[in-house]
Structure 1
Amino acid sequence: MKICIINGPNLNLLGKREPEIYGSLTFEDYFSSLTNRFPSIAFTYFQSNIEGELIGKIQELGFSYDGIILNAGAYTHTSVAIGDAIKAITTPVIEVHISNTYARETFRHQSYISGNAKGVILGFGLKSYELAVQSFVI
């Protein structure tokens, strides 16, 4: 099984950025523990702060991978184009968020991804990614 985790803007700052919301672990450290927990899955990881690069990666993997776990960060609430890219592919996408976006600012309650995703997991910290992986292996 091939799963790619795609992270959007500012998620490269995990471990440094607002640890009271996002925790103190870097994503690279978390990714290492996740791949060790699921050794039978071929994981890849991609992060970009650039919307077009995220869309390009979704299109690149969207017909050959078994799953995409996407945390589009703030683009979740602004990018019709990322939502359209997910709609255009056959690979199922799970939208994840580390924080509970509904407990934050009102503008974060809107997602242009959710309607085209297989499911949404939010508010469980980095464990949200693990829950998304589990949804693919059940």
Structure 2
Amino acid sequence: MILVLNGPNLNRLGKRQPEIYGHTTLADVEARVGELARELGAAVEFRQSNHEGQLIDWVHEAAENGWQVIINPGGYTHTSVALRDALVEVEFIEVHISNVHAREPFRAHSYLSPVAKGVIAGLGTKGYELALRSFVEEVS
């Protein structure tokens, strides 16, 4: 199982700052990644929360079950040591829709990247698909 987690404000994808994040909604991302997962024979589950503790609880669930995680932590990327502490227990890929390194300086710092299997940034919502392919190809 691959758990796809989305952090704060990603429920507003397609509406919030479309000049940065595009017009694709989170439902669109889930549909595309879900279809790709079916093609690749992978099981995925999608969850989104604006609450740090909920994301941490889901990471703990992934750790207990041996699931891999694809996470777009949103703003928690730059602020959450607690989320990092949870994520060290799972294999995860960090995904960002925009190129965080080409934006405001504070966005270039991630508490999560140093403990991630990989980081995909700036490739739009296609980053989720690339992360899924990476996990599936790793076991093939």
TM-score, structure 2 length as denominator?
A: 0.92
Structure 2, unpaired ranges of 5+: none
* Map of 2:42 onto structure 1: 41
Q: How does 1:53-64 map to 2 (within 5 A)?
A: 53-64=54-65
Find the aligned partners of 2:64 and 2:117 in 1 and give their Cα distance. 15
Q: Which residue of structure 1 lines up, in the alignment, with residue 21 of structure 2?
A: 22
Q: 1:129 matched to which residue of 2? A: 128
- Corresponding position of 1:99: 98
Q: Distance between the aligned counterparts of 1:8 and 1:47, measured in 2?
A: 6
What's the TM-score, normalizing by structure 1?
A: 0.94
User: Which sits farther off after the overlay, 5-14 or 55-64?
Assistant: 55-64
- Percent identity between matched residues is 51
CA distance in 2, matches of 1:67, 1:24: 28
Q: Which runs of 4+ in 1 moved over 6 A?
A: none
SS class of match (2:123): coil
Answer yes or no: is the 8 Å Cα contact 2:36–2:129 preserved in 1: no
CA contact (8 A) 1:4 1:65 kept: no
> Which letter does structure 1 place at the counterpart of 2:13?
L
RMSD: 1.0
